[in-house]
Amino acid sequence: MNQNKIIYLDNNATTAVDPEVFEAMRPFFCERYGNPSSIHRFGGSVAADIEEARRQVASLLGTSFRDNDGNAAEIIFTSCGSEGDNAAINAAVTARPGRNKIVTTIVEHPGVLAYCRELSRRGYKIEYIPVDERGRLDLAYAERAIDESTAAVSVMWANNETGTIFPVETVAKMAHAKGALFHTDAVQAAGKVAIDLDSSEIDFLSISGHKLHAPKGVGALFVRKGTRFKPLIFGGHQEKGRRGGTENVASIIGLGRACEIARKNLVAENIQLTQLRNRLEEGVRERISHIRVNGDLENRLPNTSSISFEYIEGESILMLLDMMNICASSGSACTTGSLEPSHVLRAMGLPYTAAHGTIRFSLSKYNTAEEIDFVVEALPPIIERLRAISPYWEGRDK
């Protein structure tokens, strides 16, 4: 295999734009550049393309509601997943005045956690649902936490670090039983798991284009028909007054096309990704001792593998992988000069010696078995080299 080729296994961070998506976007840069809010036909025709993209997104998410013009009225285009998260929680707490609690999970994405911290400074009480050692939600705790004072419940569909899939439909029912609104961050799930919003009780669902082979800077928020919605961004009348700002037309078209491709290929890609992920994990297990695969191994995304290599630091592993043109990500984050395990791994109670050596490999449809085999062969000498100089490893290889 050509060692100068980049082996990209960090697809939960971002994905390559699908060439079909890029070609769908191309005309909207230099040829069909009209403003969709314009009265003239040159701009107005672009508005029709945006509505087609809205229908494509709605189809992937399993929502069939149409307005009087036949448009997918429950889909609002946003700039990213974080905006969708913020907008949904903002709308939920606004729609439930007099309630002062928000319930979320301890392992949410910062798009939810940071906004909840901001709301706590405004007087809201935030309650965090814990997880077990496999990253699974404590549903008994969730049921106790959600009460008549709860305005909003936000639970991610699938965890971005471990791939663990959460029972969002169950928690949505808990929320509604107490009169609260329910939001799910489905950024990692969209295009990887089947979503059928028509048969669910989910009120808000957010996605991001760059996680499913659309460009960065575009996302979508599902808002169920009849749900009160106060905009987060005020401006013009775009998105029927629900999100101000001139539309990012080319990227919206790209998101629509990416959703259409993902819907058509979901089953086949899931089979492909599961096989590649299992090939990676089995190969690593056979060649390296003292490892653990994190998350709910029976109920997780097909493309995600979080592996802890005990007694060494993940950042060092990444640096040596990078020298071999292998891209992955760490389960740690560098803050104020010290290396701290991620909030997800801490919540799962991983031992210090495992959490610090955690690497997340996240695959896409563009990865191959040849690439996986190359990574499996590259990892053992890297781990052996790092453990040889680790003060925590001494004597454990005997």
Amino acid at the residue 74: E
What is the torsional sign of CA 88, 232, 122, 334? positive
User: SS3 string of 110-150?
Assistant: HHHHHHHHHHHHCCCEEEEECECCCCCECHHHHHHHCCCCE
Distance in angstroms (rounded) separating the CA atoms of residues 137 and 106:
9
Tell me how far the alpha carbon of residue 290 is from its chain's centroid.
Answer: 29
* Cβ neighbours for 159, distance < 8 A, ≥ 6 positions apart: 107, 135, 166, 188, 295, 344
SS3 (DSSP) at 58: helix
> Considering 80, 259, 327, 334, which one is annotated as catalytic?
334
Distance in angstroms (rounded) separating the CA atoms of residues 155 and 142:
10
Distance set, CA 133 to CA 73, 140, 193 (Å): 40, 16, 23
Known catalytic residue at 30: no
Cα angle, residue 76 at apex, residues 75 and 77 outer, rounded to 5°: 120
**Other beta carbons within 10 Å of 349:** 11
Backbone angles phi, psi at 358, to 5 degrees: -95, 130
Active site residues: 334
